[in-house]
Amino acid sequence: MTKIIAVFFALIACVQIIKPIGIFGLNRRSDAWKVAALGFIVILAVMVLSVSLKSAA
């Protein structure tokens, strides 16, 4: 699951560098770091949830 999320956000960051998306403050090419940071946060949240759900079971 985390690999799919990482690839998804990497593709979005590449698109942002080539042609800015223009939504949610992504108006410049240099804003690709925001996409990478969001991807890191999402992956971290998925990992925390999966660990917490495995320990609860």
Mean pLDDT of 16-21: 89
Domain span including residue 13: 2-56
Supply the pLDDT for residue 57. 66
| pLDDT mean across residues, the chain | 89
pLDDT at 45 over 80: yes
Indicate the number of domains in the chain.
1
Mean pLDDT of 12-27: 87
Q: How far apart are CA 28 and CA 11, in angstroms?
A: 16
Q: With contact defined as beta carbons under 8 Å apart, do 39 and 10 qualify?
A: yes
Q: Which residue in this structure is represented by tokens 């998925």?
A: 46
Number of H helices, E strands in the chain: 2, 0
